[in-house]
Copies of this chain bind each other. A is one copy, B any other.
C-alpha cells in the first residue's frame, strides 16, 4: 500500500499552512499531503463518514477539494525540484494558488475506501503549471481533474 512520506505541505512556511484542504496547522481541515511517486505526484485521502453525497458515495465537493490541493501541492513539488530541492531538505518551497480547476466526474465514488490522486505535471510558464490528475478509489478511476496553478503573487493578500 502506497504512502506519502515526505509531503510538500509539511514544508510550507507557517503563514501558508492554514488551508482547510492541505494546511497542517488547520485543526479541523483535511490535512491533504502531496509527495512524489516516481515522476508522478500522489495525494492519499480517506474520506470521513460525513463526506457523503448519498449514503455510500462521496460528495463532489470533496473530490474537487482533493484535486485542487493536490494540484497546488504538485506544482509546488515540481517547481521546488526544478530549483534543486526536495521536501525534507530544509528549504522553504514555493506556494501556489489555483487559477482554474476542472473536474470530470466519471463514476460515483465509493465511500468505503481511501482516494488516491495521481498527478502529471506540465510547466506552462515558470510561474504557471498545469497538473492533470486522476482520482482512484481502489482500482477504479472515479474522476479526472485539471488544475492550473500559479505561484502565489506577493499581492495575493492586497484587497
- Chain A interface residues toward B at CB < 8 A: 15-16, 18-21, 23, 26-30, 50-57, 59-62, 64-66, 68-69, 97-105, 108, 110, 156-157, 159
Contacts and interface: CB of A to CB of B under 8 A. Distances in A.
A18 B100 contact: no
A143 to B, nearest CB: 10
A83 B10 CA distance: 52
Contacts of A50: 20, 26-29
A80 B155 CA distance: 44
Copies of this chain in its oligomeric complex: 2
A52 B20 contact: yes
A151 to B, nearest CB: 14
Contacts of A68: 60-61, 64
Contacts of A69: 59-61
Residue of A57, A97, A103 ringed by the most chain B CB atoms within 10 A: A103
A72 to B, nearest CB: 8
Nearest to A155: B108
B110 A105 contact: no
Nearest to A32: B61
A8 to B, nearest CB: 16
Given A20-B51, A62-B65, 7 more contacts: A18-B54, A19-B52, A19-B53, A64-B65, A99-B105, A100-B105, A108-B156
